Amino acid sequence: VPLSIRGAHWHKAPEWPLLQPFWLGGAIGGDDYAKAIQCAKVNLGLLSKGNRDLHTTRSLEVPAVGGLLCAERTSEHEAMYAEGHEAVFWRSVDECASQCHALLAHDAHRRAMALAGQQRLQRNGNMNERVLQHILDEVAS
């Protein structure tokens, strides 16, 4: 699978010698971060086993800016998005690679899935503005 990696701490990974050729540099933010997600054909959603994550902010950020999320299969990811329609999920490295190859071979399907994921995120109400409004409404009542 063609791969590009960004981030500050990949050099600490035991797999660094294998990952280093794909590493494009440290973390990026703001508009550059959004553009990187939008330009990627598939965005991997990796979870921290140490934190026992079932989703991360990237699980929301990728669809929010129109990217396609390909993430580890968890109960929270499955509750957020319809698998195969709004995002894709995997349990193993082989399943992840298979999902990515299939997505890379079908541009129209991939773009439609990214749009559906973005629309689902908006319907779910997980956007910061809606969450903040809910907090303000609770404080005011």
Domain containing residue 135: CATH number: 3.40.50.2000
Could you tell me the pTM of the whole model?
0.86
- Say if 34 falls within a structural domain: no
- Say if 87 falls within a structural domain: yes
Question: Using CA atoms in the order 41, 120, 90, 108, what is the torsion angle rounded to 10 degrees?
Answer: -40
Please give the tally of structural domains in the chain: 1
Quote the domain boundaries for residue 71. Answer: 40-140
Average pLDDT over residues 41-69: 92
- Say if 31 falls within a structural domain: no
Average pLDDT over residues 9-30: 95
CA distances from 72 to 78, 88, 90, 95 (A): 10, 9, 5, 10
pLDDT at 127: 67
pLDDT at 134: 75
pLDDT per position as a tens digit, 70-128: 999 999 999 999 999 999 999 999 999 999 999 999 999 999 999 999 999 999 887 66
84 vs 138, which has greater pLDDT? 84
Q: Is the pLDDT of residue 133 over 90?
A: no
Q: What are phi and psi of 57, to 5 degrees?
A: -60, -30
Q: Is the pLDDT of residue 54 over 70?
A: yes
- Say if 25 falls within a structural domain: no
